[in-house]
């Protein structure tokens, strides 16, 4: 996570009693100066942007009215002030919610309540672009769901939750489908699976990731997942048939080569869901959690048809 304070740069701060002619001297001396922070005993209370300052001074009577008076008369008294440890994404939301005339003002950063520095909107936007590019590199290129690195980070994070359920989704006989219909049609099935899981997982504020191929993982912050699993299986079974050629339903002797090169009977894809939660077992490490999921996944493979297995011994939805 990137904190806004990591980007802060120091610009000059002035006391609220400084006259505007002094402010003018600062801006004249340093043409790169975007603005000045007004502080009272090191606590920021206002901000003067170069643009706003000269708009006020440049009016018909502005020079005579303001130049000999205190800077606080021109300064913006409600600038955006954020703490050092405010996440950059949160700050960007606050910055973009400002009034149009304030959008390009510097963001003032404090630490322990005192003025630390500012972040320009240009620097903020450039950093956001970098973050988006980096994040995109961690997504699965097909589904655009979080990939392995983000999944691993989330698994480590969830270990501290009071309740959580890990759901591992595996499309059975998917290689067989690819062999018969080709990778393009296979990608269509994976995108269908992505949309199906989004429909159920995301509304619960759960995490959904794509390990790769036909393997997906979801993380929910509760144990109440059985009805959801049953509905996912029901929807999957109803819709997966539309990706197949009808003649393969009729020809009960249609066969394909398996991974060992042996001819096996063609089968329609089903869905296995391996579920592990911390209701009965507390997992200290993500590797232990992954091992538990792998064991439950093996249990799922013992059954014909779509099914889900919870913690390796509670069996639901198997045909």
Res 266 pLDDT > 60: yes
Is residue 133 situated within a structural domain? Answer: no
**Same domain, yes or no: 63 and 175:** no
Q: Which of 128, 153, 186 is the last residue in one of the domains? A: 128
Task: Extract the tokens encoding 273.
Answer: 């869901």
Residue 275, H or E segment: strand 270-277
**Same domain, yes or no: 87 and 159:** no
**Same domain, yes or no: 59 and 176:** no
Pairing of strands 81-83, 107-111: parallel
Q: Looking at the 3D structure of the chain, how many domains does it have?
A: 2
Q: Nearest CA to 56 among 106, 107, 20?
A: 20
Each residue's pLDDT tens digit, 82-115: 999 999 999 999 999 999 999 999 999 999 999 9
**Same domain, yes or no: 264 and 311:** yes
Each residue's pLDDT tens digit, 184-198: 999 999 999 999 999
**Same domain, yes or no: 49 and 114:** yes
Boundaries of domain holding 81? 4-128
Each residue's pLDDT tens digit, 28-78: 999 999 999 999 999 999 999 999 999 889 887 888 888 888 888 889 999
Res 24 pLDDT > 60: yes
Each residue's pLDDT tens digit, 197-237: 999 999 989 999 999 999 999 999 999 999 999 999 999 99
Res 79 pLDDT > 90: yes
**Same domain, yes or no: 148 and 249:** yes
Res 141 pLDDT > 50: yes
CATH of the domain at 239: 3.30.70.270
**Same domain, yes or no: 299 and 174:** yes
Contact 188, 242 (CB under 8 A): no
């Amino acid at each position: 996570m990137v904190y806004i304070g990591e980007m802060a740069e120091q610009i000059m701060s002035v006391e609220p009693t400084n006259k505007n002619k002094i402010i003018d001297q600062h801006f004249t001396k340093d043409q790169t100066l975007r603005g000045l922070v007004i502080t009272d005993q090191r606590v920021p209370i206002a901000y003067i942007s170069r643009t706003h300052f000269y708009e006020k001074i440049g009016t018909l009577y502005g020079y005579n009215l303001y130049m000999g008076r205190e800077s606080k008369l021109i300064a913006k008294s409600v600038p955006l002030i954020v703490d050092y440890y405010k996440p950059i994404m949160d700050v960007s939301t606050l910055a973009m919610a400002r009034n149009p005339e304030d959008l390009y003002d510097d963001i003032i950063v404090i630490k322990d309540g005192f003025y630390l520095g500012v972040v320009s909107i240009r620097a903020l936007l450039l950093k956001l672009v970098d973050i988006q590019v980096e994040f995109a590199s961690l997504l699965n290129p097909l589904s655009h769901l979080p990939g392995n690195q983000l999944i691993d980070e989330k698994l480590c994070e969830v270990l501290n939750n009071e309740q959580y359920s890990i759901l591992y989704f595996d499309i059975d006989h998917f290689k067989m489908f690819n062999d018969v219909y080709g990778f393009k049609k296979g990608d269509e099935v994976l995108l269908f699976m992505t949309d199906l899981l989004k429909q159920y997982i995301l509304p619960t504020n759960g995490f959904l990731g794509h390990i790769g191929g036909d393997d997906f993982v979801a993380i929910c912050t509760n144990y109440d997942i059985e009805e959801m699993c049953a509905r996912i299986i029901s929807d999957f079974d109803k819709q997966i048939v539309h990706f197949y050629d009808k003649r393969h339903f009729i020809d009960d002797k249609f066969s394909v080569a398996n991974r060992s090169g042996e001819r096996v009977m063609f089968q329609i894809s089903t869905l296995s869901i391996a579920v592990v939660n911390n209701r009965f077992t507390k997992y200290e490490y993500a590797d232990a959690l992954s091992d538990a999921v792998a064991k439950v996944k093996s249990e799922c493979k013992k059954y014909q048809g779509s099914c889900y297995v919870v913690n390796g011994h509670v069996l639901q939805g198997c045909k």
